[in-house]
Amino acid sequence: MITDFLIIGSGIAGLSLALKLSAIGKVAIITKKKKAESNTNYAQGGIAAVMDENDNFELHVKDTLECGAGLCDVEAVKKIVYEGPERIMELMDIGASFSKENGELMLGKEGGHSRNRIIHCNDLTGKEIERALLNKVAKKENIKIYEYYFAIDLLTPKNLKRKNKNKNSCYGIYALNVLSNKVEKIISGKTILATGGAGQVYKHTTNPAIATGDGVAMGYRAGCQIVNMEFIQFHPTTLYEKDKDENSSHVFLITEAVRGVGAVLKTMRGKEFMHKYDKRKSLAPRDIVARAIDNEMKKSGDPYVCLDLKNIGPEKIKKEFPNIHEYCLSKGIDITKEMIPVVPAAHYSCGGIKTDLNGKTNIENLYASGEVTMTGVHGANRLASNSLLEAMVFSDAIYKSMFNGDLSNVKRETLDARRETKDTRNIPKKKNEELKRIYDNIYDWNEEGTENTEEWILISHNKMEIKEIMNDYIGIVRNTIRLERAYRRMKMMKDEIKDFYEKTKVNVELLELRNLVTVAYLIICSAMMRKESRGLHFMLDYPKKDDKHFLKDTILVDS
């Protein structure tokens, strides 16, 4: 396949970008499962943006910087905050319907926000956004979505038959067509990673099964800078289910928005505890709440703490949180009468592939947007509901930077953009033949010397071991001894899996295992480099922030 733009991932980052790029070229979106299956689809709380006269940009910037504990890039933060309202309007224009009261947007509040600024659609915001985006994408002739295509690796100069002396450049990807079980090469003028998060590296996570960190692992292998992977956000409140299937890592989230309207954290015995940790109590930022819960559970030996929703009232609960109400009822808990048992779980990866303010990586013709990136917005801790916004804003930035001149290597057949904008200044005409030449110059996938595996137990056992190690040694609270132990085990597993991969015909389970072990390894290596406590990274043996030595990003590049 040859295309102008190849987008890997069909969440908010990929779809919102595809809609824009379709005006200037042909867009292929590949996605590893069904198109709606993404972290985006599970987002509950909403999108943060300044939409109220009692709020202002400076406050949103200040809240984000405070949460990021010194590591945010101020320009990146300003970018998402100042462009927020415009991106929200865009979502509404394409048909996303957000909760309103008396004709005005209802604005929720979440931990760390000093004002009400969370635009939402009840407690199913992500599903509504994904629906609206997919609906719009279906109407664009220039966009084609390929479901069940799994991106394996980025094509770089090492995949060329005739080498060129150019700097590191991306020509597209090798992808496994899961339905035909064949590996195809997809050549593109511009490649965009929008592959989302990596929560599945942990045993308990709010992320669905697709979130195996494939983009970060692919980027690392191709030579991208991977930054700040130690900052994994644990969501404080996910439903504790005693009889949960041990083989499924995916847990159900209880959005922070319930605390925003009055729900209170208590112990199993009904005693409040958050006042001991922060003056904002149950609405303190997530890292503080997650550590407080972890500490209470460790002190008491209790398997969970509770969320008490009685301040909210049954009618409001049913109206504003219908999804949570129904799900808990299906598990035998009536949240209008009973407290919800909750535990923290891995939720969001603040680190990722480093991009600039235009979403560009350090590899030519390779861009990234969404949770796979480290743009500088989140620093050491993400402020709630800033991630959907970040994805929208940076996808827009990618489009604008391409439209405004960065279109080298892109063939253009469609003139929609010209018609729509009447602006043709910077769009060069590139020939189909150029991409065709690249196609011919890339090696076909070679599976010589590999065989189908009979060793399924090896894959599933390794996967479970990675998750257990991450949960036990690199969770909410860390220390050097645990990190060193985790490093030794993960390094060995990474080498073993590499050997096994080289001898085995690829399949989805193996590809995900290879990516999971890579991302786990990167998280551990990054955590070991940061000998201080900051934001989401809390070290028992270095309990203080150390600005003198560590007010900087942790950068890893494959050597």
Ligand X SMILES: Cc1cc2nc3c(=O)[nH]c(=O)nc-3n(C[C@H](O)[C@H](O)[C@H](O)COP(=O)(O)OP(=O)(O)OC[C@H]3O[C@@H](n4cnc5c(N)ncnc54)[C@H](O)[C@@H]3O)c2cc1C
- Dmax over CA atoms of the chain, in Å, equals 70
Member of 3, 188, 207, 533 binding ligand X (CB under 6 A): 207
Q: Which residues are catalytic?
A: 286
The CB-of-375 to ligand X minimum distance in angstroms stands at 11
Q: What are phi and psi of 507, to 5 degrees?
A: -150, 170
Cα gap 518→539, rounded to integer Å: 22
Cα 470 to Cα 474: distance, rounded to the nearest angstrom: 5
126 binds ligand X (CB under 6 A): yes
Q: With beta carbons less than 8 A apart as the criterion, state whether 138 and 15 touch.
A: no
Taking CB under 6 A as the rule, which mask of x and - marks residues 151-180 in contact with ligand X?
x-----------------------------
Q: Which is nearer to ligand X, 219 or 223 (CB)?
A: 219
Residue 196 binding ligand X, by CB under 6 A: yes
Give the residue from 448, 372, 395, 429 showing the smallest Cα distance to 197.
Answer: 372
CB 191 within 8 A of CB 28: no
- Under rule CB under 6 A, residue 112 binds ligand X: no
Angle (CA) 139-45-332 rounded to 5° is 110
Residue 525 in the binding site for ligand X (CB under 6 A): no
Residue 385, interface with ligand X (CB under 6 A)? yes
**345-364 residues near ligand X, rule: CB under 6 A:** 348
Does residue 96 interact with ligand X by CB under 6 A? no
Q: Cβ closer to ligand X: 284 or 389? A: 389
Q: Which of 4, 28, 41 is nearest to 323 (CA)?
A: 41
Candidates 57-65, 97-105, 143-151, 525-533: pick the segment binding ligand X (CB under 6 A). Answer: 143-151
| Closest to 228 in 3D by CA, of 63, 46, 9, 73 | 73
Instruction: Show the tokens assigned to 166.
Output: 């150019």
Given 72, 76, 253, 525, the residue binding ligand X (CB under 6 A): 253
Q: Which of 4, 5, 11, 264 binds ligand X (CB under 6 A)?
A: 11
Residues that contact ligand X, how many (by CB under 6 A): 44
Task: Indicate whether 232 belongs to the interface with ligand X (CB under 6 A).
Answer: no
Does residue 84 touch ligand X according to CB under 6 A? no
Q: Where are the alpha helices (DSSP H) in 477-559?
A: 480-503, 508-529, 547-550
On the CB side of 312, how many CA atoms lie within 13 Å of its CA? 25
Choosing from 43, 121, 254, 483, the residue that interacts with ligand X (CB under 6 A) is 43
- Which range binds ligand X by CB under 6 A, 43-51, 71-79, 294-302, 418-426? 43-51
Q: Which is nearer to ligand X, 255 or 267 (CB)?
A: 255
Of 4-12, 55-63, 69-77, 333-341: span binding ligand X (CB under 6 A): 4-12
Shortest gap between Cβ of 165 and ligand X (angstroms)? 30
- Select from 260, 262, 277 the least CA-distant residue to 385: 260
What is the side-by-side strand order in the sheet with 305-308? 232-239, 340-349, 305-308, 264-266
Q: Is 238 helix (H, G, I), strand (E, B) or coil?
A: strand
Structure tokens at 534: 């900051």
Beta carbon nearer to ligand X, 76 or 388: 388
Kindly indicate which of the ranges 202-210, 400-408, 426-434, 499-507 contains the residues binding ligand X, using the contact rule CB under 6 A.
202-210
| Nearer to ligand X (CB atom), residue 151 or residue 226 | 151
List C-alpha distances in Å: 39 to 126, 250, 457, 458, 480: 8, 11, 28, 28, 31
Closer residue to ligand X in complex, CB, 353/388: 388
In the complex, the smallest distance separating the C-beta of residue 484 from ligand X, rounded to whole angstroms, is: 30
Q: How many helices (H) and strands (E) does the chain have?
A: 16, 22
Per CB under 6 A, contacts with ligand X among 13-42 are 13-14, 30-33, 37-40, 42
210 binds ligand X (CB under 6 A): yes
Residue 214 makes contact with ligand X by CB under 6 A: yes
**Ramachandran angles phi, psi of 395, nearest 5°:** -65, -40
Hey, what are 328's tokens? Answer: 């808990």
Q: In terms of CB distance, is 191 or 267 closer to ligand X?
A: 191
* Closer of 125 and 188 to ligand X (Cβ): 125
Interaction of residue 122 with ligand X, rule CB under 6 A? no
Q: 287 near 536, Cβ under 8 Å?
A: yes
Q: Minimum distance between the CB of residue 539 and ligand X, rounded to whole angstroms?
A: 25
Structure tokens at 527: 């955590």
Integer Cα distance of 306 and 425 in angstroms? 59
Under the rule (CB under 6 A), what is the footprint of ligand X? 8-14, 30-33, 37-40, 42-47, 125-126, 149-151, 194-197, 206-207, 210, 214, 253, 348, 370-372, 385-388, 391
